[in-house]
């Protein structure tokens, strides 16, 4: 199976809005290492958020804000553990 196909299946398994753990996702029939790699790709693509062993889909608004916070060096905001906050003076931007 291609990475894109696995990512699509994992992403859609998260779409019911519930947070899923690795144990939940292993129930899809894939090896934990395959699921971990897929979750890393989905997180990098700003489609999901991972907190510990759990993953959940990001809303469109969350993805846009996260993209801005990560990539806009002049952005006045950052995200920490899902919380939007103003950057502190001298805090690295970008």
Per-residue pLDDT of the chain (94 residues; tens, 9 = 90+): 799 999 999 999 998 777 888 888 988 899 999 999 999 999 999 999 898 889 999 888 888 888 887 778 788 877 776 677 888 766 655 4
| 19: CATH | 1.10.10.10
Cβ atoms of 76 and 87 closer than 8 Å: yes
Range of the domain at 24: 3-58
19, 46: one domain: yes
10, 49: one domain: yes
In whole angstroms, what separates CA 38 from the centre of its chain?
Answer: 11
Three-state SS at 82: coil
CA separation (Å) from 86 to 41, 49, 69, 75, 82?
27, 20, 10, 9, 13
94, 53: one domain: no
Q: How many domains does the chain contain in total?
A: 2
- pTM given for the model: 0.76
90, 63: one domain: yes
**Based on C-alpha coordinates, what's the Rg of the chain?**
15
47, 7: one domain: yes
């Amino acid at each position: 199976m291609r990475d894109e196909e696995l990512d699509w299946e994992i992403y859609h398994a998260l779409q019911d809005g519930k947070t899923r753990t690795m144990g939940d996702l292993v129930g899809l029939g894939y090896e934990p290492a395959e699921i971990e790699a897929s979750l890393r790709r989905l997180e990098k693509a700003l489609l999901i958020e991972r907190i510990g062993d759990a993953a959940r889909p990001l809303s469109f608004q969350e993805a846009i804000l996260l993209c801005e916070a990560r990539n806009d060096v002049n952005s006045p905001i950052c995200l920490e553990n899902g919380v939007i906050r103003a950057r502190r003076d001298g805090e690295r931007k970008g």
